[in-house]
Structure 1
Amino acid sequence: MPALPNRLTSADVYRGFVMLLMMGEVLRFNKVSEALPESTFWSFLAFHQDHVEWIGCSLHDLIQPSFSFLVGVVLPYSIASRLTQESSFSKVFVHAIKRSLILIILGVFLRSQYKTQTYFTFEDTLSQIGLGYPFLLLLGFRSQKIQIAALIIILIGYWLAFALYPLPNINFDYSNAGVIKDWEHNLTGFAAHWNKNTNLAWAFDRWFLNLFPREKPFLFNGGGYATLSFIPTLGTMILGLLAGNVLKSVTIPRKKLKIFIILGISGLAIGLILNWLGICPNVKRIWTPTWVLFSGGWCFLLLAFFYWMVDVEQKSNWTYCLKVIGMNSIAAYFIADALGAYISKSLKIHLGENYSTIFGTPYQYLIHGGLMLLIYWLILRWMFNKNLFIRI
């Protein structure tokens, strides 16, 4: 399939940056940090290549929000493109439903690898986007006022649903929820409504996920992730949709940048204040409304940076590596998730088990992961040069 014309290049570069962070997990900074415990440099990199335990944010935590945000950013362009092809609203919506189903099924497929049967789970990035995408498309055809109203309803409604869900009683069996009663990251007081695996979303999954065939009954997700997070994830996509509206408008570029920076700083500030006051904690794993605003703030600022560099200043010579990844993000996701183990094993077969210790044992995972990452990119570069782009 040939590359699509009139693409928003900054969105491709931003997406490429996000996917590079995801694929870069193979560099295993945590292993280097463990081997060099006195190095603050590797400790810093290791922290930002992993998710925080509960409250807070690392660079790695911004991967999924950015990917979701960018779905909203490009939607106005996608709608305009399809309508110029004489597609009716009904055809566009049917395509959206098909796309959603493919994303959900692909998410289940990737999570089912190395399982003995299909593993039905819907908390991964692809499934979360798939669950919310039809609603996002409907909003894409509505006015900006309705889009903002929908965002407010989602944030307040989701917050209220968690706040009204009862806290665990004195006889609650924490072992069946996969958490320790006195876990250091447990919140107290009103904020306890958003604790790991004792909240509304966890209770929903205890019912919903057990409707599917399973090897054993679902009791909890080890990371605290939940299906219902697709609702606030839709909020993140709406923020992206609002950004896409600005980008597609006739507003001068400098004013667009100003809007993004103001919205970005505002999102960070509101998120920090809500978390500090205990009104709603900032938790990525269950995608709290505070997380929508806080991570959305970072997304606006990152979009501002890439838009300024690529589309405004036209300084795009350095972006080729990221464009190769960003224009084939689904392929990148699949290569890293489905082919990573095979590529890793093949390297050790052909180069030897100890080839990666050439620069010393502490860096063996870094060398092995770096070579894997290079192979990922070379595959994507070959696809890029051949105009092979996987689109859903």
Structure 2
Amino acid sequence: MLSWLWRHCDTILAALPPQRLLALDVLRGLTITAMILVNNPGSWSHVYGPLRHAQWHGWTITDLIFPFFIVIVGMSLQLSLQRQEQLSQALVIRQAVFRSARLFGLGLFLALFYYNFADPAYSYLEQKLLTVRWLGVLQRLALVYFATVLIVLYCGSRGRIAWLIGLCAVYLAAMLYAPYQDSYGNQFRGLWLFGNSFAAWLDHNVLGASHVYYRNATPFAFDPEGLWSSLPAVASCLSGVLLMQWLQSGRNLAQKIRGLLFVGLIAVWLAELWHFSLPINKSLWTPSFVLLSSGYCAIAMAACVWLCDVKRWRRWSAPFLVFGANAILFFMLAGVAARILVMIPVGDTVLKSWLFNRLLQPLLGNLNGSLAFALVFLLLSYLLMHWCYRKGHIFKV
């Protein structure tokens, strides 16, 4: 069995193009794997603490997954634009517009892909179509990607750093000093509360209370992938561009790894200190959260480069290459499968709950059964994604 597994991994690694940056592909694969794992427990009532998001201020390891993906988008973007240097800026922008539109459309498709077959009174028009959530993970990626493309095209290294700092500064200025009021005329300013911040007020009034994730938040419904918090999310993506520039510099590999570790550790340290005055908060995507998540991503990238390119320990990375090579397809298929599991009625429950309650929970208990469900989901996903990888079916957005 072990020898078969090694051969399986060696076959995957042998097919990797020589010019690919293995560490980046591995980090992308690790990130999307973690995202699917935490998104698909057997029961949301039974999840280990580290696999949950922080309730509000603070962070768990799960809170780092999405910003890791955004930083990786920035790193990949820097590589991609360098390969497209011969193209005109107008063509690059046109391609970015189409790619962003497709990402946004895929996000809306997932938001609308649900029907409650168990409820005869369910109205898809009223309960889904007319109350669609406008923003989400893929929609944020679309907006952040397009904004970052424009900044990278028209700005050099100093300009990119200036934009990163400027976006965080503009975000902070509005969050701290912009006055806003609720429907009763109560005035607010400088709050970082659940449902009461400048970002929440903007989402409530622009997107609409019925089109965001936290629809019952008071006094303002808001979205964790909302409008104003997209500004520092662009800063996160720019941090990825800058990290890749460092990796592309003429320094030797050891210097690059030490640089990533140094920057990462300093960023994490500063973020934790800043947390006392500016809370680390994923839903608001605060600048302290940008520092923290980008810092940890730099450390993770340094670890992947050291393992894959210095120590040449690569076999462990093969499954993550399969997931990372088709990250968007993996995210879409996992999202569709997860929704189907809660759409199919089985007796007085749905298929997902039936599988958990009848098979895994009695055998493994609440927490371990819920985690086992997510792991089985990943294993079955791997079989499909490996088939796509072997056949060369790579979904390009």
TM range (shorter): 0.7 to 0.9
- Residue 97 of structure 1 and its aligned partner are, at CA, apart by 1.1
Matched, 1:7 2:20: yes
Q: 1:242 to 1:30 in 2, by over 3 A?
A: same
- Residue 146 of structure 1 and its aligned partner are, at CA, apart by 0.7
Matched, 1:138 2:150: yes
Pick aligned residue for 2:169 from 147, 156, 159 = 156
Counterpart for residue 255 of structure 1 = 255
AA in 1 matched with 2:295: G
Counterpart for residue 69 of structure 2 = 67
1:293-328, Cα deviation, whole Å (9 max, x unpaired): 111111111111112111332211110111111111
The separation in 2 between residues aligned to 1:322 and 1:331, in whole angstroms, is 14
Q: 1:225 to 1:102 in 2, by over 3 A?
A: closer
Q: Secondary structure at the match of 2:228?
A: helix
Retained in 2: the 8 A contact 1:257–1:308? yes
The separation in 1 between residues aligned to 2:247 and 2:294, in whole angstroms, is 16
The separation in 2 between residues aligned to 1:348 and 1:69, in whole angstroms, is 33
Q: 1:76 to 1:348 in 2, by over 3 A?
A: closer
Counterpart for residue 331 of structure 1 = 329
Counterpart for residue 355 of structure 1 = 359
Retained in 2: the 8 A contact 1:100–1:133? yes
Q: 1:213 to 1:281 in 2, by over 3 A?
A: closer
The separation in 2 between residues aligned to 1:223 and 1:88, in whole angstroms, is 36
Matched, 1:384 2:389: yes
Counterpart for residue 301 of structure 2 = 303
The separation in 2 between residues aligned to 1:253 and 1:82, in whole angstroms, is 25
AA in 2 matched with 1:365: S
Pick aligned residue for 2:314 from 301, 304, 316 = 316
- Residue 355 of structure 1 and its aligned partner are, at CA, apart by 3.1
The TM-score normalised by the length of structure 2 is: 0.81
Q: Secondary structure at the match of 1:55?
A: coil
Counterpart for residue 200 of structure 1 = 198
Q: 1:207 to 1:149 in 2, by over 3 A?
A: same
The separation in 1 between residues aligned to 2:191 and 2:90, in whole angstroms, is 41
Retained in 1: the 8 A contact 2:42–2:371? yes
Retained in 1: the 8 A contact 2:388–2:394? yes
Counterpart for residue 23 of structure 1 = 36
AA in 2 matched with 1:368: F
1:305-354, Cα deviation, whole Å (9 max, x unpaired): 11211133221111011111111100111122111233576977998972
Q: 1:173 to 1:218 in 2, by over 3 A?
A: farther
The separation in 2 between residues aligned to 1:349 and 1:292, in whole angstroms, is 36
1:251-298, Cα deviation, whole Å (9 max, x unpaired): 21111111111111111111112121x1x2111111011111111111
Q: 1:156 to 1:315 in 2, by over 3 A?
A: same
Q: 1:339 to 1:118 in 2, by over 3 A?
A: farther
- Residue 49 of structure 1 and its aligned partner are, at CA, apart by 0.7
The separation in 2 between residues aligned to 1:349 and 1:255, in whole angstroms, is 51
Deviates more, 1:69-78 or 1:107-116: 107-116
The separation in 2 between residues aligned to 1:236 and 1:368, in whole angstroms, is 32
List alignment gaps of at least 5 residues for structure 2: 1-14, 115-126
Retained in 2: the 8 A contact 1:165–1:193? no
The separation in 1 between residues aligned to 2:327 and 2:279, in whole angstroms, is 31
The TM-score normalised by the length of structure 1 is: 0.81
Q: 1:81 to 1:211 in 2, by over 3 A?
A: farther
AA in 1 matched with 2:311: E
Q: Secondary structure at the match of 1:48?
A: helix
Retained in 2: the 8 A contact 1:17–1:322? yes
Q: 1:387 to 1:269 in 2, by over 3 A?
A: same
Counterpart for residue 286 of structure 1 = 284
The separation in 2 between residues aligned to 1:391 and 1:285, in whole angstroms, is 29
Q: Secondary structure at the match of 1:270?
A: helix
Deviates more, 1:159-168 or 1:61-70: 159-168
Q: 1:290 to 1:118 in 2, by over 3 A?
A: same
Q: 1:224 to 1:147 in 2, by over 3 A?
A: closer
The separation in 2 between residues aligned to 1:357 and 1:158, in whole angstroms, is 45
List alignment gaps of at least 5 residues for structure 1: 34-45, 175-188
The separation in 2 between residues aligned to 1:359 and 1:304, in whole angstroms, is 40
Counterpart for residue 232 of structure 1 = 232
Following superposition of structure 1 onto structure 2, how do residues 165-244 of structure 1 map, counting pairs within 5 Å?
Answer: 165-166=178-179, 193-210=191-208, 220-221=220-221, 225-244=225-244
Q: Secondary structure at the match of 2:51?
A: coil
- Residue 218 of structure 1 and its aligned partner are, at CA, apart by 9.1
Q: 1:5 to 1:268 in 2, by over 3 A?
A: same
Retained in 1: the 8 A contact 2:264–2:297? yes
The separation in 2 between residues aligned to 1:271 and 1:349, in whole angstroms, is 40
AA in 2 matched with 1:14: L
The separation in 2 between residues aligned to 1:213 and 1:326, in whole angstroms, is 31
The separation in 1 between residues aligned to 2:259 and 2:310, in whole angstroms, is 15
AA in 1 matched with 2:56: W
AA in 1 matched with 2:291: L
1:162-218, Cα deviation, whole Å (9 max, x unpaired): 11123779x7789xxxxxxxxxxxxxx99x52222211111111221139999xx99
AA in 2 matched with 1:148: I
